[in-house]
């Protein structure tokens, strides 16, 4: 399928993501300007505050975006998941260039001009508004220009906290090894950045005292562009306002927020619950594709009501227990501790396990006759490995795994995004990775899973974690979770993943077909 055909089939979703992206950028830039310019003016009057405030703004820009999102999640009022957290983060990233350029622009006004204004009897306020700001405006607009371009780029990361935007396509494209998705997210984001840069450059020239206005033949272009920008701003803000109103539900209507992690299987499991609740009259908000431990943090903070998880992950990564291999013992311990510590219920297992899958290329497995992980150990000294951040850092991950099998690679394993490890293995950049056992791309990319013959990995039964107050508030949720208990086999889950990752079908469509086959629609 060509990229043009992809756009034709997916343009409604692309426009929605584009609207979300514009909304995030415009609102955050507006707030940053409203804060940054007055702050910059203050710093020109209070020299003692200049160093500390600019220092804080500098520090905010050095914090990695995902880390900043993680800090914001648990905070009341300004935290959580969704657009609010993304807007706060974007404002913090945008403040430095606006404040700094405001200070630079005002302090850069010729001292002789100020003295002339004083000699004319102008007050301090009059000097600011009639002399300093007009002369500094081109420099200030340059700061806004830099801030907006930064915001457009960072807003792609906002998809990791459920804020939507073009980053949804970029993350999805990495997971599904789909260049069409990557282009559909990256190209509009790049065009937005170029359009913002060009438009604000025109505005900057308009205020510049070192340049004269262009001839009348080209002035209409500047005016048209500025008018178009104003129109886009108004339409986007209105669309965002309408969108936020359309998501609100009457107080008497049951409402649940379903979350998921940032990989295909998790979003599919979240979509299954969401669709089954939809058909039972529950208003569902989807906050999918949350990175790292954000779903867990959001669940405890009350930002989401449930999300899919794996017992082994909860047992080792959240509860910090040493790995064990008894599935029932792991499930019972997780169920007990989650109820006591977090007031969270654990559903019955869904029927399949998604353990770490040690993968090699099919060609290598056939050539070297590899069936178990132990079979691969003699070859590992000349191999390169690539592992996701999760696998590298967890108690049941790489350190214990390498020790259990006596694995030594040619170089330190590359730590990278999990979705990219599949691409790296298939393209010959590494020889071994740790993926997910139900990953649809295993078959699509001709990869082979090696047997864990020393039984190192703990059980990873799929379950739903749900807040107990949510179960009480929406009684039909218990019925839905009961229907899903032991209903999905490993083969079914791998096929569902394959339909999305290899056949490029939408998650909603794949889930809808599966629910129909199972007869799980509301009666």
The two structure tokens encoding residue 255: 């409402």
pLDDT given for residue 213 in this prediction: 45
pLDDT given for residue 382 in this prediction: 95
Cβ–Cβ < 8 Å for 432, 360: yes
356-361 and 432-436 strand pairing: antiparallel
Give, as one character, the DSSP assignment of residue 158. Answer: G
pLDDT given for residue 255 in this prediction: 84
Q: Strands across the sheet with 414-416, in order?
A: 414-416, 385-388, 432-436, 356-361, 447-450
User: What is the rounded CA–CA span in Å between residue 510 and residue 267?
Assistant: 11
Residue 378 Cα to chain centre, angstroms: 39
pLDDT given for residue 487 in this prediction: 95
Which whole-number Å values give the CA distances from 425 to 63, 143, 175, 382, in the listed order? 31, 43, 14, 15
The two structure tokens encoding residue 31: 């707030």
Cβ–Cβ < 8 Å for 142, 204: yes
462-467 and 255-261 strand pairing: unpaired
User: What is the rounded CA–CA span in Å between residue 372 and residue 357?
Assistant: 11
Q: Is 224 exposed, middle or buried (0-12, 13-18, 19+ CB in 10 A)?
A: exposed
pLDDT given for residue 404 in this prediction: 92
182: left (phi over 0), alpha (psi -120 to 50) or beta: alpha
Residue 72 Cα to chain centre, angstroms: 14
CB-based burial, 414-450: b 16+ in 10 Å, e otherwise:
bebbbbbbbbbbbeeebbbbbbbbbbbbbebbebbbb
HEC string of 69-130? Answer: HHHHCCCCCCCCCCHHHHHHHHHHHHHHHHHHHHHHHHHCCCHHHHHHHHHCCCCHHHHHHH
CB-based burial, 367-389: b 16+ in 10 Å, e otherwise:
eeebeebbbbeeebeebbbbbbe
The two structure tokens encoding residue 467: 């807040």
Q: What is the largest CA-CA distance in the chain?
A: 91
Element containing residue 261 per DSSP (H, E)? strand 255-261
The two structure tokens encoding residue 346: 């654990």
Residuewise pLDDT in 10s, the chain (523 residues): 577 888 888 888 889 889 999 999 999 999 999 999 999 999 999 989 988 998 988 888 788 776 777 677 667 777 666 788 889 989 999 999 999 999 999 999 888 988 898 888 888 889 988 899 989 998 999 999 999 999 999 898 887 777 788 988 887 776 656 778 888 888 999 999 898 888 888 887 777 655 544 444 445 445 555 555 555 555 555 555 454 444 444 433 568 999 999 888 999 999 999 999 999 999 999 988 887 778 898 899 888 999 999 999 999 889 989 888 899 999 999 999 999 999 999 999 999 998 889 999 999 999 999 999 999 999 999 999 999 877 887 777 888 899 999 999 999 898 887 777 888 898 888 999 999 889 888 888 899 999 999 989 889 999 999 999 999 999 999 999 999 999 999 889 989 998 988 788 889 999 999 999 999 876 5
In 3D, which of 421, 361, 423, 355 has the Cα closest to residue 385? 421
Residues forming a β-bridge with 466: 306, 345
pLDDT given for residue 508 in this prediction: 93
pLDDT given for residue 351 in this prediction: 94
Q: Which domains, ranges and CATH numbers included, belong to the chain?
A: 3-246 (1.10.3720.10), 255-353+460-518 (3.40.190.10), 356-450 (3.40.190.120)
The dihedrals phi and psi of 450, each to the nearest 5 degrees, come to -85, 140
């Amino acid at each position: 399928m060509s990229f043009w055909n992809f756009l034709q089939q997916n343009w409604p979703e692309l426009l929605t993501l584009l609207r979300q992206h514009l909304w995030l950028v415009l609102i955050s830039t507006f707030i940053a300007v409203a804060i940054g310019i007055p702050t910059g003016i203050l710093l020109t009057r209070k020299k003692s505050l200049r160093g500390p405030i600019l220092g804080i703004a500098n520090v905010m820009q050095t914090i990695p975006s995902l880390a900043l999102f993680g800090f914001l999640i648990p905070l009341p009022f300004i935290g959580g998941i969704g657009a609010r957290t993304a807007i706060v983060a974007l404002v913090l990233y945008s403040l430095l260039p606006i404040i700094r350029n405001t200070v630079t622009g005002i302090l850069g006004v010729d001292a002789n001009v100020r003295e002339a204004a004083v000699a004319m009897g102008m007050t301090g306020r009059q000097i600011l508004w009639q002399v300093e700001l007009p002369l500094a405006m081109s420099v200030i607009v340059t700061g806004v220009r830099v801030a907006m371009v930064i915001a457009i780029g960072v807003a792609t990361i906002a998809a990791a906290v459920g804020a939507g935007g073009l980053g949804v396509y970029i993350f999805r494209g990495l997971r599904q090894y789909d260049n069409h998705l990557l282009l559909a997210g990256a190209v509009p984001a790049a065009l937005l950045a170029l359009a913002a840069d060009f438009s604000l450059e025109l505005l900057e020239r308009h205020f510049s005292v070192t340049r004269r206005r262009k001839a009348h033949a080209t002035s209409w272009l500047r005016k048209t562009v500025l008018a178009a920008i104003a129109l886009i701003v108004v339409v986007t803000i209105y669309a965002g306002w309408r969108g936020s109103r359309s998501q609100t539900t009457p107080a008497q209507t049951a409402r649940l927020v379903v979350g998921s992690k940032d990989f295909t299987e998790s979003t599919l499991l979240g979509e299954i619950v969401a669709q089954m609740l939809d058909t039972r009259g529950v208003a569902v908000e989807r906050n999918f594709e949350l990175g790292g431990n954000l779903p867990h943090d959001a669940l405890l903070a009350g930002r989401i009501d449930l999300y899919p998880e794996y017992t082994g992950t909860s047992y080792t990564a959240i509860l910090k227990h040493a790995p064990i291999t008894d599935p029932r013992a792991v499930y019972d311990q997780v169920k007990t501790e989650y109820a006591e510590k977090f007031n969270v219920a654990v559903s019955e297992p869904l029927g399949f396990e998604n353990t770490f899958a040690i993968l090699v290329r099919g060609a290598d497995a056939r050539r070297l006759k590899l069936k178990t992980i132990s079979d691969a150990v003699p070859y590992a000294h000349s191999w390169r490995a690539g592992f996701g951040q999760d696998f590298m850092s967890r108690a049941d991950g790489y350190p214990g795994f390498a020790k259990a099998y006596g694995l030594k690679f040619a170089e330190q394993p590359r730590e990278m995004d999990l979705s990219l490890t599949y691409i790296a293995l298939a393209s010959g950049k590494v020889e071994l990775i740790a993926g997910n056992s139900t990953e649809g791309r295993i078959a699509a990319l001709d990869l082979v899973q090696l047997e864990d013959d020393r039984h190192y990995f703990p059980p990873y039964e799929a379950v739903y974690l749900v807040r107990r107050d949510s179960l009480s508030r929406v009684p039909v949720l218990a019925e839905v979770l009961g229907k899903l208990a032991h209903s999905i086999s490993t083969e079914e889950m791998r096929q569902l993943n394959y339909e999305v990752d290899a056949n490029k079908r939408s998650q909603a469509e794949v889930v809808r077909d599966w629910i129909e086959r199972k007869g799980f629609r509301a009666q």
